[in-house]
């Protein structure tokens, strides 16, 4: 019988996802000034757990306190906050679903407010309105240290009660910087050929597996492509997917884009062929699934039950990855599975300044940045509300959430700096 969203899925390691709906990672910004989980995170994840998804993937948790994706990130590099982590894990698995920690290193996508000398495979600066400093090219020691940190964080996540980890290697963060020829100009064994550029990710997976053992799920989030001139291509993604299958990965999540081209949020103008398919990376799924020979999760744009069940029945994907709708209707998985609704809420198309030069495809970089940041801010606003037991609030416009998000991010970074200065 064809799989549907309600079908369980057995992963290569033996773990079973109770259904095919997964909440994709969304950075919450809800850690305290010591980068530890808070009661607000527990509330948010308890709400999502009760909402019925088979798998919840946390927002990215940093493996190194010196480099954050944003203020308010949880950092996990030692066992000093183990009881708080366990409470978070317990809340997020309340309904018997899986809860995986997404583990990440931002590389050069670390705001200058957090660190004025970020790391990257090469010293190529991010071209984004002065927010990001020129990175230092990583030494061999830096690379080995980052790999060890991924493994240590995964081990600690397992100890805390998370039921799996996902290594973030998409969206232009460190793993994805190694894979892309735009950001990786190295001439040693970590750069050049695809085999060398994939070495960081494959060595990290091996190090994580050694720490967590054979029965613990390891996922990887990978770009189908960077959608950037000279970047990581679909053909390369297909080859790397095959290697990930051989490396013992349990679930391969496919997304795409980087900070310089946010296709994963679908804020750039869509191609007609993609528009028709609703889920924007679905057209690449077949080639990737065939090469990977492991379960695949496609994320981005899934909104209607028909598209989800068709994609599962065709074998185009094994898991349906969804992110933004969890912020406005946290229990939509239960509602979709029970047949109460046939599609999940779509807000993102309203969340732009307008049409033409104000649209997501605006020729002006600053307008595009406001739209992108404002849209992210709109979803942060909803997560904050859910974390306080409040209902979602669809009212704020994108300009308001843009300003609120900028102020909040500065506040979070500043609060952390003050705490660090006090010791």
Ligand X SMILES: Cc1cc2nc3c(=O)[nH]c(=O)nc-3n(C[C@H](O)[C@H](O)[C@H](O)COP(=O)(O)O)c2cc1C
Closest distance of CB 422 from ligand X, Å: 28
Shortest Cβ 105–ligand X spacing (Å): 12
114 binds ligand X (CB under 6 A): no
Of 20, 152, 158, 168, the residue at the interface with ligand X (CB under 6 A) is: 168
The owner of tokens 């069940």 is 309
CB of 5 to ligand X, least distance (A): 14
Angle at 99 between CA 93 and CA 103, to 5 degrees: 145
Task: State how far the Cα of 322 lies from the Cα of 388, in Å rounded to an integer.
Answer: 22
At a CB cut-off of 8 Å and minimum separation 6, what does 194 contact? 236, 239, 240
10 Å CB burial of residue 187 (0-12, 13-18, 19+) is exposed
H-helix segments, 161-254: 174-179, 194-197, 199-212, 234-246
Q: Please identify which residue in 3, 13, 21, 26 interacts with ligand X, judged by CB under 6 A.
A: 26
> Binding to ligand X (CB under 6 A): which residues in 331-390?
376, 379-380
- Specify the residue, 192 or 345, whose C-beta has the smaller distance to ligand X: 345
Report, in Å, the least distance between residue 139 CB and ligand X: 27
Instruction: Give the residue with the Cβ less far from ligand X, 173 or 190.
Output: 173
Residue 60 found at the interface with ligand X (CB under 6 A): yes
CB of 147 to ligand X, least distance (A): 19
When binding is defined by CB under 6 A, the residue of 98, 108, 324, 416 that contacts ligand X is: 324
Site residues (CB under 6 A) for ligand X, limited to 236-265: 255, 264-265
SS (H, E, C) 71-139: CCCCECCCCCCHHHHHHHHHHHCCCCCEEEEEEECCCCCCCCCCCCCCEECCCCCCCCCCCCCCCEECC
CB-nearer residue toward ligand X: 18 or 345:
345
In the window 206-235, what residues touch ligand X (CB under 6 A)?
Answer: 221
| Nearest Cα to Cα of residue 183 among 241, 216, 223 | 223
Choose the binding region for ligand X from 164-172, 195-203, 269-277, 395-403 (rule: CB under 6 A). Answer: 164-172
Contact status, residue 64 vs residue 55, Cβ threshold 8 Å: no
- Applying CB under 6 A, which of residues 13, 25, 165, 296 lies at the interface with ligand X? 25
Q: Hey, what are 188's tokens?
A: 């040693």
Which residues lie closer than 8 Å to 119 by C-beta, 6 or more apart? Answer: 67, 105, 107, 108, 135, 136, 138, 142, 146, 174
Contact call for residue 99 and ligand X (CB under 6 A): no
Q: Which of 11, 24, 91, 367 binds ligand X (CB under 6 A)?
A: 24
The single residue among 174, 201, 218, 323 that binds ligand X, judged by CB under 6 A, is 323
Dmax (CA) of the chain: 61
Q: How far is the CB of 255 from ligand X (least distance, A)?
A: 5
> Rounded to whole angstroms, how far apart are CA atoms 409 and 11?
37
* Pairing assessment for the beta strands 319-322 and 21-23 based on DSSP bridges: parallel
CA dihedral angle for residue 262, residue 264, residue 265, residue 267, rounded to 10 degrees:
50
Toward ligand X, which CB reaches closer, 243 or 259? 259
Binders of ligand X in range 272-311 (CB under 6 A): 299-301
The minimum distance between CB 256 and ligand X, in angstroms, equals 9
Residue ranges that bind ligand X, judged by CB under 6 A: 24-27, 59-60, 102, 168, 170-171, 221, 255, 264-265, 299-301, 322-324, 376, 379-380
């Amino acid at each position: 019988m064809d799989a549907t969203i309600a079908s369980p899925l057995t992963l290569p390691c033996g773990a079973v996802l109770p259904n095919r709906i997964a909440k994709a990672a969304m950075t919450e910004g809800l850690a305290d000034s010591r980068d530890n989980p808070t009661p607000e995170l527990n509330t948010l994840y308890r709400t999502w757990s009760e909402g019925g998804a088979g798998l919840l993937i946390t927002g990215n948790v940093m493996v190194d306190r010196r480099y954050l994706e944003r203020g308010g990130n949880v950092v996990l590099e030692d066992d000093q906050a183990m009881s708080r982590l366990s409470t978070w894990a317990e809340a997020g698995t309340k309904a018997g679903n899986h809860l995986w920690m997404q583990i990440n290193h931002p590389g050069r996508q670390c705001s200058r407010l957090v660190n004025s000398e970020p790391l990257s495979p090469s010293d190529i600066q991010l071209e984004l309105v002065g927010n990001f400093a020129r990175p230092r090219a990583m030494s061999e020691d830096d690379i080995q240290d980052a790999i060890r940190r991924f493994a240590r964080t995964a081990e600690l996540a397992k100890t805390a009660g998370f039921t799996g980890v996902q290594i973030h290697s998409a969206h232009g963060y460190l793993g994805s910087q190694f894979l892309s020829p735009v950001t990786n100009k190295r001439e040693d064994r970590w750069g050049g050929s695809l085999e060398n550029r994939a070495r960081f990710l494959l060595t990290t997976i091996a190090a994580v597996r050694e720490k967590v053992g054979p029965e613990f799920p390891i996922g990887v989030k990978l770009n189908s492509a960077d959608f950037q001139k000279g970047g990581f291509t679909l053909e390369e993604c297909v080859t790397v997917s095959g290697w990930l299958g051989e490396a013992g990965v349990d679930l391969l999540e496919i997304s795409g884009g980087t900070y310089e081209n946010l296709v994963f949020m679908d804020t750039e103008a869509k191609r007609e062929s993609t528009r028709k398919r609703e889920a924007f990376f679905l057209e690449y799924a077949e080639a990737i699934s065939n090469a990977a020979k492991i379960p695949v999760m496609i994320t981005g744009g899934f909104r209607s039950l028909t598209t989800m069940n068709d994609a599962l029945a065709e074998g185009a994907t094994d898991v349906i990855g969804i992110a933004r709708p969890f912020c406005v209707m946290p229990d939509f998985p239960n509602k979709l599975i029970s047949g109460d609704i046939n599609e999940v809420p779509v807000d993102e198309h309203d969340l732009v300044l307008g049409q033409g030069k104000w649209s997501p495809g605006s020729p002006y970089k600053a307008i595009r940045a406001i739209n992108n940041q404002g849209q992210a801010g709109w979803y942060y606003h909803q997560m904050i509300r859910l974390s306080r037991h409040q209902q979602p609030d669809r009212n704020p416009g994108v300009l308001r959430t843009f300003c609120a998000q900028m102020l909040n991010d500065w506040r979070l970074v500043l609060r952390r700096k003050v705490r660090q200065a006090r010791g």
